[in-house]
């Protein structure tokens, strides 16, 4: 089974080896909490968290 990894830079959750949002390869399997952003331009939560791309994000990344 493929393990989901969270980017330490932007907190995007991915199954790849490179973050598709910020292109960082600094990923970790140690994360918790999920925010699903469908429409970042109309989302108050996305604005508060600084999210500009739709997708799955971790709330806490260590």
Locate the domains of the chain by residue range: 5-61
pLDDT reading at 58 higher than 90: yes
Neighbours of 26 (CB within 10 A): 13
Confidence of residue 2 (pLDDT cuts 50, 70, 90): confident
Can you tell me the distance from the alpha carbon of 1 to that of 59, in angstroms, rounded to the nearest whole number? 23
Contacts of 3 (CB under 8 A, 6+ apart): 15, 29
Quick one: tokens of 25? 């390869």
The domain defined by 5-61 carries CATH number 1.10.3720.10 = no
Encode pLDDT of 25-56 as tens digits. 999 999 999 999 999 999 999 999 999 999 99
> Regarding beta strands 13-14 and 5-7, do their DSSP bridges make them parallel or antiparallel, or are they unpaired?
antiparallel
- Residue 36 pLDDT: 98
């Amino acid at each position: 089974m493929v393990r989901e990894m969270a980017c330490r830079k932007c907190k995007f959750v991915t199954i790849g080896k490179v973050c598709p949002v910020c292109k960082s390869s600094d990923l970790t399997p140690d994360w918790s909490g999920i925010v699903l952003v469908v429409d970042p331009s109309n989302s108050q939560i996305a604005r508060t968290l600084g999210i500009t791309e739709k997708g799955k994000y971790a709330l806490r990344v260590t």
